[in-house]
Amino acid sequence: MLCALIDCIRFYSRLPVPVFAFEKDPHGLPDFPRIVKMLPLASLIITLPGACVLVLADQFWPPIITATLTVTMMVLATGAFHEDGLADVADGLGGGQTVERRLEIMTDSRIGTYGGAALVLSLLLRASVLADLTDGLGAPATALIVLAVAPLSRMAGLLPLMLLANAKPDGKAAAVGRPGATTYLATLAFALLVSGTLLWCSGCDDITLLLVMPVGFCAVVPLLLMARRLIGGQTGDVAGAAQQITEIASLLTLSACAN
């Protein structure tokens, strides 16, 4: 279990993780069927620096600056891992005319107009919503919300892997493997329990708890349909975009319920 947690943190983030003697291939691609069980816990660890920044920054600055610093720390912790996927998907699905061209654009390291717009809107929405939540609920409650959304959004990020074929049979998404349905559902149940507990501790009422989780996952459905129709399946970039969409949709739902 420790190896799985280490691999999960190392894959999803840029947090410094030492290499241990018992690791066989510390820098290789992870085996998702093995490590997925630890994703909820890894998500909390990866997001913890951002939550800490939120609480500390709130002592010195107004909510919008606090929220911007929080999002900045979250991006630094992951190395813009999910944001990169969102930008690539926006460029590929928005700019390509054929399946081959769309996949080529998504592989290209350069960023286009669609990708740039998607990144700006994503960062703006997340910072604005966190500022609103911090102003209304206070920093400690908002920090718990930030932590709560992390396991939920990353489990939603695995939906493309679970539900769609590999758009590129030789891509990284195909190389990491696909968790079994039983493993995924069991891990999802654990993630929902963790997220629900944190949201309850933040002061969310029953209606909010019942709304935020389904809304977050349902928000990914349009992306899944577009990916299947436009590129014939999923890639790692689609998984990153799914995580971002779920995170934004969940935060927007929480903000709406709080207001």
For residue 22, being part of any structural domain is answered with no
Q: Which burial class, exposed, middle or buried, applies to 98 when counting CB atoms under 10 A from its CB (0-12, 13-18, 19+)?
A: exposed
For residue 130, being part of any structural domain is answered with yes
CA dihedral 199, 205, 211, 212 (to 10 degrees): -20
> CA of 235: how far to CAs of 5, 56, 65, 173, in Å?
23, 37, 34, 6
Q: Determine the pLDDT at residue 172.
A: 64
Q: Determine the pLDDT at residue 127.
A: 98
Residue 28 pLDDT greater than 90, yes or no: no
For residue 34, being part of any structural domain is answered with no
For residue 11, being part of any structural domain is answered with no
For residue 137, being part of any structural domain is answered with yes
CB atoms within 10 A of CB 131: 21
177 compared with 227, residue with greater pLDDT: 227
For residue 68, being part of any structural domain is answered with yes
Q: Out of 65-69, 98-102, 128-132, 246-250, which region has the weakest mean confidence (pLDDT)?
A: 98-102
State the pLDDT confidence band at 90, using cuts at 50, 70 and 90. very high
State the pLDDT confidence band at 60, using cuts at 50, 70 and 90. very high
Residue 36 pLDDT greater than 80, yes or no: yes
Q: How far apart are CA 148 and CA 132, in angstroms?
A: 17
> CA of 11: how far to CAs of 23, 30, 184, in Å?
14, 7, 18
For residue 143, being part of any structural domain is answered with yes
Q: Which domain holds residue 121?
A: 42-258
Q: Report the domain count for the chain.
A: 1
Q: What is the pLDDT of residues 166-199, one digit of tens each?
A: 887 776 665 667 888 899 999 999 999 999 999 9
SS3 state at 166? strand
Q: Which residues of 216-235 are buried (b: 16+ CB within 10 A; e: fewer)?
A: bbebbeebbeebbebbebbb
Extract the tokens encoding 138.
Answer: 């206070």
Q: What is the mean pLDDT of residues 79-106?
A: 92
For residue 72, being part of any structural domain is answered with yes
